[in-house]
Amino acid sequence: MSLEVIDILQIIFDAGLAGIIAAYVIWDHMKDDRLLTKQVQEFYEDIEKLIFYFYSKEIVDDFLKIYKGKVEIPVPLQFVNEVSNRHYYYKIKVQKEFSELSKYLGLIATEKDKIEYLNYTYIILNENGMLKKRLGKEIIEDYSDIKESEIEEINKYLESLRDFWNDKYYWFFIKPKLKKDIDFRADLLNFIINLDKSFKAKSKNDYFMKGNLSYFSKKYKEAIYNYEKALEIDSNFIEALLNKGVMLSTLERYDEAIQFYDRVLVIDPNDKEALVNKGATISKLERYDKAIQLFDRALVIDPNFIETLFNKGATLSKLERYDEAIQLYDKALVIDPNDKDVLVNKGATLSKLERYDEAIQLYDRVLVIDPDFKKALVYKGATLSKLERYDEAIQLYDRALVIDPNFIEALLNKGIMLSKLERYDEAIQLYDRALVIDPNDKDALVNKGNVLSNLERYDEAIQLYDRALVIDPNDKDALVNKSATLSDLERYDEAIQLYDRALVIDPDFKKALVYKGATLSKLERYDEAIQLYDRALVIDPDFKKALVYKGVMLSKLERYDEAIQLYDRALIIDPDDANAYYNKACIESLRNNEGKALNLLKRAIKLKEKYKIIASNDSDFDSIRDSDKFRDLIND
């Protein structure tokens, strides 16, 4: 017996005849409500199917246009007609039920109400059972230009219908919920493949097409299999060689990918796509000079090939040749002013040059073109983070995660942001979500290790760094962060060995130089530490961490004037560097300059509250510790 029936019997027992009448009325309403819920659920499912078959028809039509004359069409024409017939059938069903049931989904509310409850989705349903697109105040009757990439908008629209029903009709006795019937992401992407289950690939083009469909469904291994079958028929099939290379690169099997691009270049030394793809893959292996040579070869063949300009710009940016990268992005934007990837990458490069306002303007341009472009949302969030506009950054990461809950870059960036705000438990949850999606994501492993290290859970942190190093033994960040954790455990010799491994991989890795210097400092090997800081400052004279760390070292050697000069240099670079103010305060306290020390310490604490606790235990402030002003500052 259900809980609801037990409750009603209890009402009857407690209330006598009046209770019986009340219970009957309630029960009668419950039956009506259940019936209505069922009808609305079926109507909602019909709307889903209408949209699904509309999309299916559009995809099949596009498929026929693309492959007509190039490939033996595996989809019999009657299937296309069947899709059209299904679409028409659900259109008539929705049209028939619209006037009776749509009010329960708010579909015949005023336009103002629609906008409010639909959360500004631009897909709406017309009373004749047809979809409409709305951009701003303009309603577009012709929706034939809706693309598969806009499936997220459809999901948002359907979620809005469900939410409206659930919020408005969450009644006392029953709690109706509209259930999702179709998984657009899974069902639609596999639609064409399953249209004709009897189809068997015979020609190289058949296998090539199946490989592409598997690629679009993110079934990369299946795609590789089909490209291999195509190449068994024709070993010089350039398109299959290129696409297999792309698949292998996507799976981070870079050396194998390069072999396939090389096979293309043997057949056609001037194939610009092979040159660019090989260059992009080699760039991922950090062989930047070789990558640039390949891009330059491609640009001789076609100076206006945007893919080449984009990839060469990205590689130059990795080499910190930012001005050259921006020139290439600008050239690409002359060819296509609305190329989203180029705009975002130019924004990222401007951000590295600390031209944050310009970067944000570019991200905003992209988001006008495509409000759901995840990369723009995340990169804008990262730039806002550098401006310490953390709440705005988190909102952008959340927007990206609404669009794609499995977008690892958004999970990682939000995790880093929460870690900066010392919301460590939340950060760990995000890294764990990323690791569920991809257990071998090195950045998620390293970032989670960093948080655990901050929480002094050192053994757990080291385990995560080790997992990252099994995946990539040359991961510099994993090596350096594991070293820093070993140093915190006072396992200094092991730490130094790992720093040295990182510096063999990259002798100019600034972070390794500075962190190794900090470890040598703990061993009181000050001169060696200073040499490492100087090496880092030769590489980057504005490397703030090296300036501050060297200043701390000079302070230990009582070379206070030199130390203060370094802190002042750091503060020119970043006027809000709390660590620089704190260390200057330490020096003034050691010099018995109470007033200066307190003013500097006050500025450090204003920027970062944690310096109250640090100062209360720091022997550098022993000379002013008994001062009322010091106690007031620490205890405020």
Q: How many residues does the chain have?
A: 636
- For residue 62, pLDDT beyond 90: no
More confident residue, 396 or 117: 396
53 residue type, one letter: Y
Highest average pLDDT, of 42-46, 65-69, 83-87, 297-301, comes from: 297-301
Residues 524-537 have a mean pLDDT of 93
Given this model, what pLDDT does residue 5 score? Answer: 44
Residue 3 reports pLDDT greater than 50 = no
CATH of domain 405-471: 1.25.40.10
- Within 10 A of 141 (CB to CB), how many other CB atoms are there? 9
- Can you tell me the mean pLDDT for 108-133? 62
323 burial via Cβ count (<10 Å: 0-12, 13-18, 19+): exposed
Query: Would you place residue 182 in the very low, low, confident or very high pLDDT band (cuts 50, 70, 90)?
Result: confident
Domain ranges (residues) in the chain: 3-193, 405-471
Cβ contact 453:488 at 8 Å? yes
Rg (CA), the chain: 31
**Band of the pLDDT at 101, cuts 50, 70, 90?**
confident
pLDDT at 331 over 70: yes
> Among 127-136, 532-541, 594-603, where is mean pLDDT lowest?
127-136
Average pLDDT of the residues in 426-448: 93
Please write the tens of the pLDDT for every residue from 221-271. 888 998 999 999 999 999 899 999 999 998 889 999 999 999 999 999 999
- pLDDT, tens digit (0-9, with 9 covering 90-100), for 145-161: 555 556 667 777 787 78
Give residue 173's pLDDT band: very low, low, confident or very high (50, 70, 90).
very low
Q: Which two tokens stand for residue 265?
A: 């270049």
Closest CA to 281 of 310, 263, 306, 257: 257
What phi, psi does 76 have (nearest 5°)?
A: -60, 150
Q: How many C-beta atoms lie closer than 10 Å to residue 292's C-beta?
A: 20
pLDDT at 351: 94
Residue 421: the pLDDT is 87
Alpha carbons 455 and 459: distance in angstroms, whole number:
11
Confidence of residue 75 (pLDDT cuts 50, 70, 90): very low
Q: How confident is the model over 583-609, as a mean pLDDT?
A: 90
Q: For residues 73-89, give the mean pLDDT.
A: 57
What pLDDT, on a 0 to 100 scale, did the predictor assign at position 119? Answer: 54
What pLDDT shows up at residue 222?
86
Q: Show the DSSP H helices in 251-271 as ranges.
A: 254-267
* Confidence tier at 348 by pLDDT (50, 70, 90): very high
**Residue 343: what pLDDT?**
95
DSSP string, 41-95: HHHHHHHHHHHHHHHHHHHHHHHHHHHTTTS---S-HHHHHHHHHHHHHHHHHHH
Q: Which of 418-422, 451-455, 609-613 has the largest mean confidence?
A: 451-455
Tell whether the model's pLDDT for residue 99 goes beyond 90. Answer: no
**Is pLDDT above 80 for 480?**
yes
Looking at residues 449-478, what average pLDDT do you find? 93
User: What local confidence, expressed as pLDDT, does residue 487 receive?
Assistant: 93
Q: Are the C-beta atoms of 214 and 226 separated by less than 8 Å?
A: yes
Residue 311 to residues 39, 258, 328, 376, Cα–Cα distance (Å): 54, 16, 9, 17
Of 192, 106, 184, 180, nearest in space to 152 by CA:
184
DSSP letters, 120-172, are: T-SEEE-TTS-EEEEETTEEES--TT--GGGHHHHHHHHHHHHHHHHHHT--S
What is the pLDDT at residue 538?
A: 94
Confidence check: pLDDT of 510 > 70 = yes
Q: Report the percent of the chain where pLDDT is more than 90.
A: 48
pLDDT at position 364 is 94
Q: State the Cα–Cα distance between residues 32 and 337, nearest whole angstrom.
A: 57
Biggest alpha carbon–alpha carbon distance for the chain: 95
Q: What local confidence, expressed as pLDDT, does residue 554 receive?
A: 92
Q: What do you get for the CA distance between the two ends of the chain, in Å?
A: 62
pLDDT (tens digit, 9 = 90+) per residue, 306-320?
Answer: 999 999 999 999 998
pLDDT of residue 216: 65
Residues 314 and 568: their CA atoms lie apart, in Å, by 34
Output 144 or 131, whichever has higher pLDDT: 131
For residue 78, pLDDT beyond 80:
no
Res 59 pLDDT > 80: no
CA distance 328 to 332: 6
Higher pLDDT, 318 or 24: 318
Comparing 13-27, 44-58, 293-307, 530-544, the range with the smallest average pLDDT is 13-27
pLDDT of 72: 43
Strands of the 123-125 sheet, one edge to the other: 123-125, 131-135, 138-140
Please tell me the distance from the alpha carbon of residue 591 to that of residue 598, in angstroms, as a whole number.
12
Please give the pLDDT value at position 350.
96
Residue 368, pLDDT above cutoff 70: yes
Q: Quote the strand ranges of 475-611, DSSP E.
A: none
Say what the pLDDT of residue 196 is: 47
Cα–Cα distance measured from residue 224 to residue 205, given in angstroms and rounded to the nearest whole number: 14
- More confident of the two residues 295 and 7: 295
pLDDT of res. 50: 81
DSSP state of 180: P
pLDDT value of residue 42: 85
According to the model, what pLDDT value does residue 43 have? 87
- Give the pLDDT mean for 540-554: 92
**pLDDT for residue 288 is more than 90:** yes
Average confidence score pLDDT of the chain: 82
Q: Quick one: average pLDDT of 47-56?
A: 76
